């Protein structure tokens, strides 16, 4: 149980990180442009990742060439996320942007789970999950009003 709670808290930390990064990204993009701010964010992330990788003894970085091609393009999705934040944040505000990101993540997550893509455990779409998605969409509508 403690392990599960720890994992949930780590997941919430990821959500907090998106919630904090989104308004910072939007503000930075307004000042220096979306692509320039994306470059700064990704370079600073690469530097920190490199430092952590060094501290962790390189993990298994030498095996990078064994990864499927689509895994090597994962950074593209981060860039898309960042650039969409730059467009939506100044127009919709932090709350709506985070809500839309969350809704997008949940719906694509349900599809990925349903088909077991990318090696995740197979979890079919159920009526309960569909109802949860509909409740989420109602929440988006209420937040947007």
Domain check: are 62 and 132 in the same one?
A: no
Helices marked H in 1-145: 2-32, 34-55, 74-92, 94-115, 127-144
**pLDDT tens digits for 10-45?**
888 888 888 888 888 888 988 999 889 989 999 999
**pLDDT tens digits for 72-119?**
998 898 888 888 888 888 888 888 888 888 888 889 999 999 999 988
Domain of residue 103, residue span: 94-145
Domain check: are 16 and 83 in the same one?
A: yes
Domain check: are 54 and 103 in the same one?
A: no
Question: Which of the two residues, 56 and 86, has the higher pLDDT score?
Answer: 56
């Amino acid at each position: 149980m403690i392990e599960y709670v720890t994992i949930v808290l780590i997941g919430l930390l990821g959500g907090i990180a998106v919630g904090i990064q989104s308004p910072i990204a939007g503000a930075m993009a307004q000042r220096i442009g979306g692509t320039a701010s994306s470059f700064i964010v990704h370079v600073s992330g690469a530097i920190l990742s490199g430092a952590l990788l060094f501290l962790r003894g390189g993990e298994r970085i030498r095996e990078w060439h064994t990864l499927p091609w689509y895994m090597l393009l994962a950074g593209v999705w981060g860039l898309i996320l960042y650039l969409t934040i730059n467009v939506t944040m100044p127009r919709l505000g932090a709350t709506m942007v985070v809500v839309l990101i969350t809704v997008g993540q949940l719906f694509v997550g349900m599809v990925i789970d349903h088909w077991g893509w990318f090696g995740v455990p197979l979890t079919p779409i159920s009526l309960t999950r569909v109802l949860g998605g509909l409740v989420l969409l109602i929440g988006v509508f209420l937040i947007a009003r």
